[in-house]
Structure 1
C-alpha cells in the first residue's frame, strides 16, 4: 500500500521526469486487478485522468495506456467523461506518434464497447458517456476523425492497424445495434466512402494477417451482420427510399417517354400546332416484367433477399446503365419465352452469394477463433476477403448469368437450370479461390469460364452430393448399372465376332509344280507342304523334274467368324480380302469353343501403318503384318472323351488352336474381350473397361438428374410410305 501511495504522489509531482517514471511503472502494474482496486481506492484515478488531459510526449502515452488497461478490467469508469472523450478524439485526429495513438484508440474501444458487456451493466456512470453516442460531440468538433481513423489502417505499424480496426469495429457494432434505422446506414456508408472496405481487403490479403487476425475476423463477421440486416429489411413501397430505388430502376431502363406524366396522373401530349392537350394516363401492362420480374409486383419478388437484393440490382444498373438499357432493348424484341429475366437473375445471384459466404453464420465465437488461429489450414480458410467485394462479385455474377443464358439458348422454363449452372460456376471460381486471389482475376474467370467444362463440373458435383448423402444406395445403383453395362458391352463384342473379321496370316509361300500352285498359309498343312518341297529340293537338286519353290512375300488373309449358335469359331484362309464377307459355308475349318482353354494376347501397341487400301485392290495383299497377336489355346478333339465335354481330362495336352493378328486396337479389343466374355471370363483391355465405365457413368448421371421420358420430344416421327422407298428398306422406331 505504501508503494501505491508513493506512486500516486509521484504522478502529481511538478517534475516531468518524476511523473514520467511513475506512470511508466503504473502501466506495468495496472493490469493486476488487486493493484487496480487499491490504486483507485487511494485516489489515484483522478491523478491519472489529469495526466491524460494535460501531459504530452511519453508521459501522455504511458497515461493513456494505463487508463486503457484499467478500463479493460471494467474499472475506472468514473474518470470517463466528455473531456476525456474530447481529448482522445483530438489526439487521434492531430497526433502523429504511434504510441500515443495506440493508447487513445484502446480507450475509445472500451468506451464504445461498454454497453455491450453484461458485466458492465451495473456501472453507475451515465449511459450517455458510452457507446457511439458518446463520441458524437467530439466527432462533430473534429470532422476528420473517421477519415484519420481509416487512414491508420494503412500504417506500417501492425499494432496501430489492429487498434484502428478494433475501434472501427466497435463503432460499427454499436451503430448497428443502437442507432435508428435511418442513422446506422448513413454511418456505414460514410465509412465505405472513406475507403474502409478497400483498406481491410488489402490487410486480409497481406502477409501481416497473423498480427491482425482478431480485428479482421470481427470485421468480416460485422460485414455479414450488415448483409443480413439489409436482407431482413423487406422492400416496402410505403417507404420513400424504396420507392425511389424502384423508380430509378424503371427510368434507367429507358422506357417509352412519348408521354410525359404529370403529377396529377394525366399526361401531356404535344399536338402538331405546338399546343398541349391533357390525356388520360396510360399504364404499361409489362412495366416490371420487361425488366425481368416475374410479375408486376416487384416488391413481393424481393421477399427472399429483401432490401439487399434491391441494393444489388440498383447498384448494377447504376454502374452499367448503358449496358442495362441495351440488354432490356435486345430482350424486348424477342419472344416472351426467350427473354432473359434480368431482375430475376440479379435476385438469384444475390441468393447464391448469400449462401456461398454463409452470411447467416456471423457470430464470432472466441473459442473457435483461437482454434482457427492454431491451424494454418483453417487460418487461410477462415478469412474470406472476397466477401468485402460483394458488389463487384454480384455484377460479375449477373454478367455471367447473361452469358450462360445466351450460350444455352435458354427459355424461361430453363431459368432454374441456368441458375444451377451459375451456382456451380460461382462455387468453382469464387468459393475455391485462395485468400490472395485478386478480384479482377475472379471477374475475368467468371466471364470466360468454358461452358463444356462447367457442365462437367456440374455433373461431378451432383454425383459428389448424392454420393455424400446416399453413399450406400448409390453404390448399389452403380453396381447394378455396371453389371448392365458389362452385359451390354459383352453383347456388342460378341456381335463383332458374329459379323466376322479379316486377319492377316504369316507371309505365304507359292509352290509351283507341274503347273499347279499351292498357297502356304501358316497352318500346319502349309508348313508340312513347304517342308516336303524343301526336302525334295535338297535331296534331288540335280533332277530337272523337281518342283520349283518360289517364296512370295505376300500376305495371306484369314477370315474368322462366330457361328450363329455361338458354339463354334469358323475360319478359312484366302489369297485376298473380299468386299463381301464369306458365309459360314465358305469356312470349312472350325473350333469348338468347348475345347478352348484360354485366350491370351501380347497386348503390345501396333506400330503406325498406312491406311489400308480397298480389299478388292491387289495392293491390299502387301499391307504390313500386325504385331498384335491373340492366341487361342485348347485341346485337340482326339484327346477329349466326348464331342462336347464339360471339362478336359487331366492328361490332355494344351495346344495352340488359332492365332489372330488384329490390325487395329479397336479390333484387338473387340475380339480379345469378345472371346473372353464368350467364355464367361472378365474383359481385360483398357478400351473395353473405358466403354463399360462410360456407360455406367452416363447411366448414373441420368438417374441422378431424374430424366424422364416426357422431358424429351415425344412426338413420333412420321412413318415413311412404301412408295417413297426403292428396293429393300428397313424401318425401326427407337423410343
Structure 2
C-alpha cells in the first residue's frame, strides 16, 4: 500500500528551498529501505527528482541523496538512472567523507550487479552492464580513480574505509570472475602497485578491526582465490609470458657463455649446455614438469626471489659449482617446495563456503585473531624467508640430495611454529627475524614432539590399554615386595629421634641433640597378614625375635589411618579418600610413621594394644581414635617400604615417590619388552599401508656371541 507521506516527500524533493530538499532527502534514506516503498517511489516519478538532486545539490543534501540512491539500488530499483561517470567523478573530486560514502556504495552495487540474486533472469546488455566493465569508460576519463580509491583506505573514518575496501573487493571479484586469463592479472597487479596490500595489512593489524571485519575478511578470501587461480594456471613454456619469465630466471643466474659450434652452413651458434636447468635446481633439463603442482604461482615466487635477491642467487650458485653435486641444494625445487608449504599452511584450497562460515564467527567479536591472517598478504616475503631458512638448514645439517625430504619436513615445522604461532599483530619483520634465527636443535625437539603426538594418535588406544594392564601388574608386584618387607620384620630406634610419645609433639632441636637411641622396637607382620606384632628391646638382638616372643599385637582390621611425614614433599599424590594422614612439615621433619585405630572396650589385661575385637564395626562404635603404634625408619627408602606396605595392606594406593617410580619403571620395562615382540608382518595391522610388501630382512646372528645388552 502506498505511503501517505510519499506525495509530500516528492513535493519537498522538488522544492526550491534548500532546507526542504535537505530534510526530504534525509527522511528518504530510511524510507527507501522498504522494497514496497521504493517501488512506489519510482512509479510516482521520484527517480528523476532524486537524480536531479544528486546532479545539482552539494553538502549534506548531496550526501543524503547519494545514500538514498545507493539503498534504492540495493532493493533492485532505479538502475535506469545510474550515471557511472558522475559517481566516479564524485569519488575522485569530492573531499567530504559523507559524500564519498554514498558514492562508493553506489559503485559497489554497480560492480556487483551481475551477481545480484534478483537479476539472474535479466539479460545484461552493454547499456546496463555491471561489473568492472561498467566503470571502464568512466575510469578512462578519470584515470586517477583507482589511486584515490586505495588512498581512501587510510582514512580516519572507518565507514569510508569499509566502503572503499568493499568497492575494491567488488572490482577484484568481478575481474577474477569475468576477465580473460590475460586481463585480470594486469588489473590485480595495478591495484597492488598502488599499495592496496600494505593498506589492508595495516587495517588488519589495527584496533578498528571490528568496524571493518567483513570487507577485510572478504579481501582475505579474495587473496586466497587469487593464489588459487595463479596455482591453477599451468606453466606452458610455449606461452610468451611464461617463456620470458623462466628465461629471466636463467639469465639472472649469470650463466657462463656457452662454447660456439658450427652448423652445416659453417655459421657459428651456441653449443647446447646439458646442465643448464639442473644447475638452477630443477629435476631435469626440462623445467616445466617441476611446476606441475604449484603452476604459475610457483614460477612467480621463484621469479620474484631471483629478481629481488639476484646477487645472493648468483653467489649460492657459484659456491655450489665448486662443491660435490650431491651436496648442492636444488634452489628451484626448494623455492617450489616453500610455495607448497605456504599454500598448505594458509589452507588456500579451502572453499569459499568455509570462508563464509568465518563471517558467522565474527559475530562474537572474540575470534579476530583466529580468523584474520594478515601474514597471508605478505606471501612474497614469507616465501623468501622460508627459502632462506631452507638454505640455512641445508647447510647446518650437511644435507645431501637424498636428504631433501627431511629438510622439507623441518621447514614445514618451522613455518607451522613461527607463522602459525604468530598472533594478528605480529609484524612481518618479526617473523622474518625469528625464522632466520630459529635454532636447529629446537626445531628437532619440535619434530620429535610432533612425531610422538602422531604415534600417540595412531597407537594411543592400544598403548594406553597395554600401559593400564602393565601398571596393574606392576602395582601387584610392588605390593607383594612391600608386604614381604613387613613379613621380614625390621628394627627401629626408640628415644633420641622421636618426639615426645606421650604428648605427640613435634621433633625439637633438643630432641635431635640427644645422644643415641635408648632402646629399639622390632615390628613384624604375621604370616596371615592380619596382625602386626611388635616389641621393645634394650638393644638389638643378633637373632630376630620370633612372632610369639613379641608382646604387642595389632589387629589390622581396627586400623583407621596411617600418619607420616614421608610424603610431605609429594602431597599431590595423596587421594582425598586415602587413610594416610600428614603430619606438620618443617625443618625438623623425620620419617616417623604413626598408626591410628579404634581400640575395643577393654575387658581386662594390661595392654589394650594386644586385645582387639573380631569385627571392625564393633570396635569403632563408641570408641575414640587412638595411637596404636609409632616407629621411625632410619631412611626414606625403608620408610617408603613400610608406609606403602601398610597402606596396601589396607587396600589403599601407594603414595610415596619411590614406590610410584618403581611401579612406573616396571610397567615401562614391560611395555618395551612387549614392543620387542612386535613383528613387521604381524596380523594386528600395527604397521599400516604395507600389505603385500615383503618385510625387512631379519639380521643374521652368524658370528655373534652372547656378550651383548639392550639399552632401554
Residue 397 of structure 2 aligns with which residue?
Answer: 408
Residue 348 (structure 1) shift = 1.8
- Within 5 A, what are the aligned runs for 1:208-227? 208-227=208-227
Query: Is structure 2 residue 396 aligned with structure 1 residue 397?
Result: no
* Cα pair 1:218 1:364 within 8 Å, conserved: no
> 1:486-528, CA deviations, whole angstroms, 9 ceiling, x for partnerless residues?
99999xx99xx9xxxxxxx99xxxxxxxxxxxxxxxxxxxxxx
Residue 433 (structure 1) shift = 1.5
Pair 1:299–1:701, CA change in 2 (3 A): farther
> 1:220-245, CA deviations, whole angstroms, 9 ceiling, x for partnerless residues?
11011001111111111111111122
Residue 5 (structure 1) shift = 3.1
> 1:599-643, CA deviations, whole angstroms, 9 ceiling, x for partnerless residues?
99975899xxxxxxxxxxxxxxxxxxx999799x9xxxxxxxxxx
Residue 62 of structure 1 aligns with which residue?
Answer: 64
Match of 2:36 among 24, 34, 37: 34
Pair 1:297–1:138, CA change in 2 (3 A): same
Residue 108 of structure 1 aligns with which residue?
Answer: 107
Pair 1:359–1:486, CA change in 2 (3 A): farther
Pair 1:372–1:24, CA change in 2 (3 A): same
* Cα pair 1:77 1:125 within 8 Å, conserved: no
Match of 1:278 among 235, 260, 268: 268
Pair 1:163–1:260, CA change in 2 (3 A): farther
Residue 57 (structure 1) shift = 1.9
Residue 422 of structure 1 aligns with which residue?
Answer: 411
Match of 1:327 among 306, 310, 316: 316
* Cα pair 1:628 1:661 within 8 Å, conserved: no
Residue 521 of structure 1 aligns with which residue?
Answer: none
CA distance in 1, matches of 2:477, 2:232: 55
Unaligned 5+ residue runs, structure 1?
269-276, 498-504, 507-551, 554-587, 607-625, 634-649, 721-729
Residue 74 of structure 1 aligns with which residue?
Answer: 76
> 1:522-562, CA deviations, whole angstroms, 9 ceiling, x for partnerless residues?
xxxxxxxxxxxxxxxxxxxxxxxxxxxxxx99xxxxxxxxx
* Cα pair 1:153 1:164 within 8 Å, conserved: yes
> 1:634-664, CA deviations, whole angstroms, 9 ceiling, x for partnerless residues?
xxxxxxxxxxxxxxxx99xx999996658xx
Q: Cα RMSD between the aligned structures?
A: 5.0
Residue 306 (structure 1) shift = 1.2
* Cα pair 2:169 2:222 within 8 Å, conserved: yes
Residue 207 of structure 1 aligns with which residue?
Answer: 207
- Within 5 A, what are the aligned runs for 1:343-362? 343-362=332-351
The DSSP-based 3-state class of the residue aligned with 1:403 is helix
> 1:676-720, CA deviations, whole angstroms, 9 ceiling, x for partnerless residues?
9xx9x99866578679879959969999999x9x99998999999
CA distance in 2, matches of 1:384, 1:375: 18
Pair 1:173–1:470, CA change in 2 (3 A): farther
The DSSP-based 3-state class of the residue aligned with 1:235 is coil
CA distance in 2, matches of 1:428, 1:349: 15
The DSSP-based 3-state class of the residue aligned with 1:224 is helix
* Cα pair 2:591 2:639 within 8 Å, conserved: no
Pair 1:674–1:604, CA change in 2 (3 A): closer
Unaligned 5+ residue runs, structure 2?
486-491, 494-514, 517-541, 557-561, 570-587, 596-611, 614-627, 679-685
Pair 1:195–1:332, CA change in 2 (3 A): same
Residue 539 of structure 1 aligns with which residue?
Answer: none
CA distance in 1, matches of 2:478, 2:639: 11
Residue 455 (structure 1) shift = 2.3
- Within 5 A, what are the aligned runs for 1:633-652? none
* Cα pair 1:40 1:76 within 8 Å, conserved: yes
The DSSP-based 3-state class of the residue aligned with 2:352 is coil
- Within 5 A, what are the aligned runs for 1:592-607? none
Residue 726 of structure 1 aligns with which residue?
Answer: none
* Cα pair 1:78 1:125 within 8 Å, conserved: no
Residue 196 of structure 1 aligns with which residue?
Answer: 196
CA distance in 2, matches of 1:397, 1:485: 49
CA distance in 2, matches of 1:353, 1:246: 22
Match of 1:299 among 288, 299, 304: 288
Query: Is structure 2 residue 370 aligned with structure 1 residue 368?
Result: no
Pair 1:705–1:149, CA change in 2 (3 A): farther
Residue 96 of structure 2 aligns with which residue?
Answer: 97
Residue 675 (structure 1) shift = 11
* Cα pair 2:260 2:270 within 8 Å, conserved: no
Pair 1:627–1:202, CA change in 2 (3 A): same
Residue 371 (structure 1) shift = 2.6
Residue 146 of structure 2 aligns with which residue?
Answer: 146
> 1:406-439, CA deviations, whole angstroms, 9 ceiling, x for partnerless residues?
3333222222222222222211211121111111
CA distance in 2, matches of 1:487, 1:339: 58
Pair 1:440–1:668, CA change in 2 (3 A): farther
Residue 125 (structure 1) shift = 5.8
Residue 127 (structure 1) shift = 4.6
Residue 451 (structure 1) shift = 2.5
* Cα pair 1:338 1:412 within 8 Å, conserved: yes
TM-score by length of 1: 0.68
* Cα pair 2:591 2:635 within 8 Å, conserved: yes
Pair 1:177–1:334, CA change in 2 (3 A): same
> 1:268-316, CA deviations, whole angstroms, 9 ceiling, x for partnerless residues?
9xxxxxxxx836613233x222222233332211211111111112212
Residue 168 of structure 2 aligns with which residue?
Answer: 168
* Cα pair 1:485 1:696 within 8 Å, conserved: no
Query: Is structure 2 residue 235 aligned with structure 1 residue 235?
Result: yes
Residue 395 (structure 1) shift = 1.2
Kindly tell me the number of residue pairs found equivalent between the two proteins.
Answer: 591
Residue 329 of structure 2 aligns with which residue?
Answer: 340
The DSSP-based 3-state class of the residue aligned with 2:268 is strand
Pair 1:295–1:173, CA change in 2 (3 A): same
- Within 5 A, what are the aligned runs for 1:533-544? none
Residue 19 (structure 1) shift = 2.5
Pair 1:307–1:591, CA change in 2 (3 A): farther
CA distance in 2, matches of 1:701, 1:201: 52
* Cα pair 1:459 1:701 within 8 Å, conserved: no
CA distance in 1, matches of 2:236, 2:381: 26
CA distance in 1, matches of 2:478, 2:277: 55
* Cα pair 1:669 1:685 within 8 Å, conserved: no
TM-score by length of 2: 0.70
* Cα pair 2:281 2:329 within 8 Å, conserved: yes
Residue 141 (structure 1) shift = 1.1
